[in-house]
Amino acid sequence: MGPDVALTSKDRSSMRLSVIFSIMMVLLSGFGAQDVRAQDGEGEEIQDVGKPRIEMKPFNMALLERGRVRGQVTMHLVLVIEQKGGHEFVRTRLPQLRADFNSALTVLARQRFSVSRPIDPDIVKAYLTPYADQRLGSGVVSVYVKQALIEPS
């Protein structure tokens, strides 16, 4: 607009309102397309079908043999909640369960893990299940190994 065209205050206010309205529409339309979920300590995956499950953060520990570090163990565990409505109960006890699993996996790594052979997920599941049953109650969750890696050092 040139200098010889003057805008009245009514024209300016209607222009401001239209700009604000268009900005609000753009912002609101962007939020409708996104899936917003709160993330907390443990990664969580809720399914539409089947039993709910919770993916725990990976466990990382040093693999010691004869007092020397031979490798790095990384293990991803998944808890499948077997009881209906037990999801919130399990979530409130995840920090204690994680501490139990961490100490148990450290002992198991000293006894059973080696750089020269893969980790047996059935042994890990059988070893951790009593810890989960003691902390949460018998049969509340099932423990599964999603991924287990040993990186030699």
User: What ranges do the domains of the chain cover?
Assistant: 44-152
Residue 51 three-state SS? coil
Dihedral, 129, 130, 132, 137 alpha carbons, nearest 10: 120
pTM for this entry: 0.68
Tens digit of pLDDT per residue, the chain (153 long)? 555 556 676 677 777 777 776 676 666 665 544 444 444 455 555 555 789 999 999 999 999 988 999 999 999 999 999 988 899 999 999 999 999 999 999 999 999 999 999 999 999 999 999 999 999 999 999 999 999 999 999
Per the CB < 8 A criterion, the answer to whether 56 and 141 are in contact is no
Per the CB < 8 A criterion, the answer to whether 78 and 53 are in contact is yes
Per the CB < 8 A criterion, the answer to whether 81 and 87 are in contact is yes
Per the CB < 8 A criterion, the answer to whether 148 and 75 are in contact is yes
- The set of residues, in sequence order, having a beta carbon less than 8 Å from that of 80 and lying 6+ positions away, is 51, 52, 53, 141, 142, 144
Which CATH code of 2.40.30.10, 3.30.479.30, 3.40.1190.20, 3.10.129.10 fits the domain covering 44-152? 3.30.479.30
